[in-house]
Every structure is written in C-alpha cells, then in structure tokens.
Amino acid sequence: MASTASVQAPTADPRAEPRAGGGVSGFLGSVIDGNPYFSAGFGLMLFGGALAYSKGLITLGARFAQRRMLVSLEIPSKDRAHPWFLHWVGAQAQAQALRRKANNGKLPRESLLAFLGFSKAPLKGTHDGHAYESEVHDPLRAGSGSVSPVRIISRDLAVDTQYEEPTRRAAASGAERGVATFSLVPGPGTHWFRYRGVWIRLERERNGKMVDLSNGAPWETVTLTTLAPHASLFHQLLNDARQLALASTQGKTLLFTSWGVEWQPFGHPRRVRELDSVVLPESCKEELVHDVQRFLQRGPWYAKRGIPYRRGYLLHGAPGSGKTSFITALAGALDFNICLLNLAERGMTDDRLNHLLSNAPERSIMLLEDVDAAFQGRNADAPERYADGYQPNVTFSGLLNALDGVASGESRIIFMTTNHLERLDAALIRPGRVDMIRELGDATPEQVRELLIRFYFSDRLEERVSAARRARGHDPREFSHAQHAQAPDADTDYYREALSKTTTELHTLADALVVHAAKATQRRREALHLTPDGYPREGAGSARLQRPASRGGVSMAELQGLFIRFADDPHAAVAAFGEESAQL
C-alpha cells in the first residue's frame, strides 16, 4: 500500500526581519507595533502636544475674557490720588481692627451671600450698624459723615504707626510718653477687599531700583481690578479716599516744602492758630485780612480785565514782631496751607523757582522769608549768604521773572518777609510784584495792653468766679463745661463783681507794663545810637526806596516769652520785666 506524504506550508516567524520592500512606513509601523515602550512614548508626545495646544487656547480665552469682563485702574505714586488711597486703606484696616476687637478678636460673621457680594448689608460694628466708642475713635469719619467700610483679606502686611502726644493730664500723672497705635495695613503684594458689596483686587508693587526723586521713596504702583460692570465704583472709591484724607487735616494747617521740583508735606499738620491770638498794630491786621479776602472774591474781575490773578505782600520790621505768626494765623483763618520757599537753598535755580511758584498746591499761601538775604541782587557789595563763600544760584532777574514774568503762574498769594527793607531793590517791591507793604515794628502801647489782657483775662476771671461758687456751696461740676460767654451764672452779682475786679486789675497791670516797656525802649535805643523813634541818626536818607524799620525797642516775642514764664501770675510778670529791663 502506497504511503502518501503530506507537505506542511512554512509559517512566518514574527521575529524575522522585515523585507526590504516594505518601505519606511512599514518599518515605523513594525517598530511601533513591536516596541511597547516606543508606542507609549509616542502616545505621550501626542497627548502633551494636544495639552500644550489646549493650554494656549485656554490662556488666550482667559485673556480675552479678562479684557471683556474685568477692568483695572492704575494709581502711580506720582499721582495725587496715591497718598489719598493709601490713607483710605490705612483707615479701613484700622476700622477693621476695631471691629475685630469689639467681637473678641474675630470679625463679625456674615452670610455667604454677603461674603460673595450678592448682599450689600452693612458691616456690623461700624457706624452703619454699631457705633464706635466715640466719634474721635472713628477712623472712617469724613466731614459731616463717614465713608463706607470695607472687608479686607490680606496676607502681606505692613505696619502703620500713629503716635499721639501725651495729654496734660497724662503728663501731670507722670506719663512721659505718648500713646503709639500700630495698624497692620496691606503691604506690597496682592490683597482683596469688598467695597459696596463688590470684590476688588488690590495689587501694590514696588520697584526697589527706582526711587521718586521728589521725596526719596521707592516707586510704587497700586492697581485695582474688578468686574467691568462695576467700573463706576472706582470714582466713588477715590472720592471717598479724598474726603477721608481732607478730613484728617480739617482744622489744621499743612506746611509744604520743596523736594526737587515738587511740593511735599513737611512734618505733621499743625493746629490752626486763631487770628485773634496775633496782636498787630492798630488796623494793620484788619487791612491785610480784608485785602486778602477781597482778592479771593474777585477772580472773575481780574479775568475780565486781563489782569494776572495774583497778589503780593511784604511784611517788614524787627525780629519777633509777628510777621510769620500773622501769616500762619491768616492761612488758618482762610483754610489755606503754607508753602515755605527758601530762595537761598542749595540747588535752587531760576528754572526750579519758576516751576515751584507756578505749580503750588491749591489754596496755599507762598511764603518767602528773609527775602533780603536770598541773593546778592544788583549790588556787588552785598554780603554773602554763607561763610564758606557759597552764593545762591537764584539770580535777581530770575526772581523778578518768577514773580510776574511771562511764565509766572497765577491764582496765588505771595507773602515776603524781611528785617531790612532798606536792602531790597526798588524793582523787587514795585506794584505788581508787591501790592501791599506793611511794617510790623516793636510793640506799641496798644499791643502791650492787648497782649497782657489776652494772656491772663480768662484764667483770672475763672479763678475769681470759681472761688465765689465754692463760697456759695455750688458744685464745680455744674460749670465744668460752661463757656464764660455762656456761663449759667453770668447775670449773678458775684460774676459781675469778678468781671469788674479782673478788668480793673489787668488794665492797671497793663498800664504799668507800658511804662516799663517805654523806659526799656528808650535805654536800648540810646545805647544803639538811634533816634527816639528807633531810626539811625545818620544815613536815614538812603538811596534805597525806604528807610529801615524802627528797631531797638521791646518786641512782641519778648513779651510773649515773659508771659509764658509767668503763666499764672501777671503781677510777677510785670515786676520781673521792670527789674530785668532796668539792668540793661
């Protein structure tokens, strides 16, 4: 039987090398199919590329949405609103600290809707809910009302230290140091706060390499960002910041000095000095005040006639006659600030002077003290200002052009003071540059009387009235807050008796002090070889515009120092002045 042979077809070995005829695509396909590591890496590469592409699309979409939905406001440190906003932020941080303190160290709870900004319920613990301990402690009080409180979320903090001088009662009890208040305010970084129910992002950025040359502070930029539909809140916020900043200086006088080509506040705001506290010669104060007020009311009158709207005043006289004191009191009475300008300052040039005079802060009085010593003027023999030979860079012509040249500013009031009127050139004090000149010399008899009575009258009257009340068994607390002009016992016999005795006593002392002052003035002027009126015996007919002011007498500053020494005893003050002046 014949055997049959079976032939089996050969099978392909998967590990066999590919044929050359498969091409590159076949090679890559075989590599990918045969290498699981390469296959996974290729998949990750595709996934990463897709993810990067998607990220770019997301970033582009986010930028588009941000431009369409968000709005930002930049406040550079060069802008006037920058210090207002920082003051507002500090006050808000202080108010939030007070709310936290009143709630046992935690902020008052609020609903989720209020936190997210969907509810505009007022924050508790503020003037809209619970009042502060007193209006004095309300950091958000601005004028007749208060600005809206905010909730601040911050992790980058800075300290704002406020120092208060000790009161008379604290000083009397032995407290030598005042009270320091530390407020933690948002520092450089990113912060969030809710204003009028809307969340706003606050970014403070400082450039340590850039410095503001006007004040030496690092350059800083504040950026506020919120939803575009709420862009109008920026105007309200800045207005609140301005009102709060102005309220912090209400009833005070700001002093400005020049830093570079800018005006910067100098020191702390000063308490307004009462105009009645400055005693000037008869009718002099009234004339100056009336002229300034009349000038401020006639802006349209100047514009209609094409006259530059500016006014210049010159006060001259002996040192201590009240020139600077009157200007300070006048600024307080008009609610103006004072810009101190030193013409002899190192680095002051004609261009810088003109720029400063043309860019003074609003509602400010420009004060140029000792203008005679600021430059050599057109007199080559004038003495140098500094012993080291330094001469100020401000020229005489530069000062004249700054006062009323083509590039000079308008809407300003300039006061100049000098102790030596005879040293001033006639071109400097001609009408148009100086519109009113007044001499404030040594104390006149009327000034001596008025100053003494003003210093002692209220205290002496109160002493007598208090003694009469105690003698009649009245409780002093009933009259502790009563003013003399509105005293509840002003129509009583003992009050009228106290008033009569005080008036007689002080007028008698004033007459005695006038006699002592006249004798002292006579002796001093004789020693200085001056005329009885206080002028030089020779050379009075100078080639200058006016002769020098009278000198050699008793100054108002000298009398004020005397009354401060004997603040509680006018009899001792008059006696001491008579003895001391006789020894000169």
Residue-by-residue DSSP string for 10-44: PPPPTTSPPPGGGHHHHHHHHHHHH-HHHHHHHHH
SS3 category, 292: helix
Q: Report pLDDT for 325.
A: 94
pTM of the model: 0.76
The sign of the dihedral angle between the CA atoms of 165, 170, 173, 178 is negative
Q: Report pLDDT for 35.
A: 61
Q: Which amino acid is at 78?
A: K
Q: Report pLDDT for 4.
A: 45
Q: 158: Cβ–Cβ under 8 A, 6 or more apart, which residues?
A: 184, 185, 186, 187, 188
Q: Report pLDDT for 136.
A: 43
Rounded Cα–Cα distance for residues 196 and 115 (Å): 11
Terminal CA-CA length for the chain: 169
For the chain, how big is the Rg over CA atoms in Å?
39
SS3 category, 359: coil
Domains and CATH numbers, the chain: 70-248 (no CATH), 264-381+391-439 (3.40.50.300), 445-582 (no CATH)
Q: Report pLDDT for 96.
A: 84
**Three-state secondary structure string covering 463-530:** HHHHHHHHHCCCCHHHHCCCCHHHCCCCCCHHHHHHHHHHHHHHHHHHHHHHHHHHHHHHHHHHHCCE
Backbone angles phi, psi at 325, to 5 degrees: -60, -40
**Mean pLDDT in runs of 10 for the chain (584 residues)?**
47 49 57 61 73 78 74 90 91 84 74 64 49 52 68 86 61 56 85 90 82 67 92 92 87 89 85 92 92 94 91 92 94 94 85 90 92 61 52 82 77 91 89 92 93 95 87 68 54 87 96 94 86 71 54 90 95 94 78
Vertex 367 angle, CA 362 and 371, to 5°: 150
Rounded Cα–Cα distance for residues 368 and 338 (Å): 10
C-beta separation of 71 from 226 below 8 A: yes
C-beta separation of 574 from 516 below 8 A: yes
Backbone angles phi, psi at 308, to 5 degrees: -55, 130
